[in-house]
């Protein structure tokens, strides 16, 4: 399977509730290009990779194990 960093990105912001929130949903692609939910260990690796690549955009970015992004 080919890994991609995120399959779904949800950004939500509600007036008066603080900063925007971002949640990442890791996916893998099958040989046919179909997205599938990866095993937990692979999902954690994908989220860790996103966190490692993020400091160039926002140095304080942290990605929780459940996909929540903290700025």
The domain locations on the chain are: 2-70
Q: What pTM was computed for the model?
A: 0.66
C-alpha–C-alpha distance, residues 32 and 61, integer Å: 33
Q: What is the pLDDT of residues 4-63, one digit of tens each?
A: 444 555 556 666 766 666 788 888 887 787 888 888 988 888 888 888 888 777 778 888
**pLDDT of res. 1:** 46
Angle made by CA atoms 54, 19, 42, in degrees to the nearest 5: 40
| Contact present, 70 and 61 (Cβ < 8 Å) | yes
């Amino acid at each position: 399977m080919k890994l991609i960093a995120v399959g779904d990105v949800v950004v939500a912001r509600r007036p008066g509730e603080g900063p925007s929130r971002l949640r990442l949903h890791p996916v893998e692609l099958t040989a046919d290009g179909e997205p599938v939910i990866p095993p937990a260990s692979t999902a954690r690796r994908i989220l860790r990779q996103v966190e490692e690549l993020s400091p160039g955009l926002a140095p304080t970015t942290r990605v929780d194990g459940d996909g929540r992004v903290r700025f």
